[in-house]
Amino acid sequence: MRMLALYSIKGGVGKTASSVNLAAQAARAGNRVLLWDLDPQAATSFYLRTKPKVRGGVEKLVKGKADLDKVIRNTQVDNLDVLPAALASRDMDNLLAKRGNSHLRQILKPVRKDYDLVILDCPPSLSHLSENIFSSVDALLVPVVPTTLSMRTLEQLRDFLDEQELPCTFWPFITLADRRRKLHVEMIDEMQNGWPLMLSTVIPAASAVERMGLERAPLHAFAPRTTASRNYQALWNEISQRLQ
C-alpha cells in the first residue's frame, strides 16, 4: 500500500481539488484508492458527497479502536473510497502528539490489503499532524501557485524538512497557472529549472475546477474534455511512473 499526501504550508493553492482529481484518476487507472480527508473543513468529503462525520469519533480512530469498515465510505467513483473529516478532526493534532512516528500508516494497518494507494488531503499547517504525515507517506505532493509567496512556502517546507532531518521525499507541481500573465510564465520557468524533482505537468487556473463545488464530483465526471481534466490525468500518469 503506497501513501501520498497533498500538502502545502500555504492555503488556497488547489490542494483539495488536486487530492480529489488525482485520487479519481488513480482509481480510473484501476487502483483501489482510499482518500483520507484530514482537513477539519472537510472540503474533500463535501466534493465526494460524503457526510462530514467520523463514526466512533476521532479519538477512537487515532487509538486504533475504530471499526474502519464503518468509518470508510464508498463514493460515486468506482474504486475510490473516502475516510471523511469532521470538525472534530481538529483534535487529531493533539491526539497524535502522544503517538509515535508513522502512526497514520499504523491506523490504516487493518485495511492495508484492501487498497493499492492512500492519498491524504492535509490541512495547511506545521504541526504534530504534519510531522506524522511526513513520516508516514512515500512522498509529499506539494501544489505551488506560480507566485513569489507560494514559492517561498515551498522553500520553507524544504528548510523545515532539512532542519528536522526528516527524510521525506516531496514532489512539487504547479497549480492555478495562468499563462496569459507574464509573472506566471516567468515563475513557471524558474521553478521548473530550479527544482529538479518538480513534476512537469502544469494545472491551469480554470472555471471547471471552481465548478467542482457545484457538481460535487471530480473533473472527469462532468468536464472530461477540459484542459484541467486532461492535465490531471497527465499528472497522475507522471506520479504513477515515479512510484514505480
Nearest to 22 by CA among 187, 195, 242: 242
Residue pLDDT, tens place only, 78-96: 999 999 987 767 878 888 8
Q: Where are the alpha helices (DSSP H) in 178-226?
A: 182-194, 207-210, 212-215, 219-222
Residue pLDDT, tens place only, 133-171: 999 999 999 999 999 999 999 999 999 999 988 889 999
Residue pLDDT, tens place only, 189-235: 999 999 999 999 999 999 999 999 999 999 999 999 999 999 999 99
How confident is the prediction for the chain on average, in pLDDT? 93
Cell of 201: 505537468
Nearest to 82 by CA among 127, 29, 145, 19: 19
Was domain 2-243 assigned CATH 3.40.50.300?
yes
Bridge partners (DSSP) listed for residue 142: 172
Cα-to-chain-centroid distance, residue 214: 20
Which residues have CB under 8 Å from 185's CB, separation 6+? 179
- Whether the model pTM is above 0.85: yes
Which SS3 state, helix, strand or coil, does residue 139 take?
strand
What pLDDT is attached to residue 176?
Answer: 96
- The amino acid sitting at 83 is L
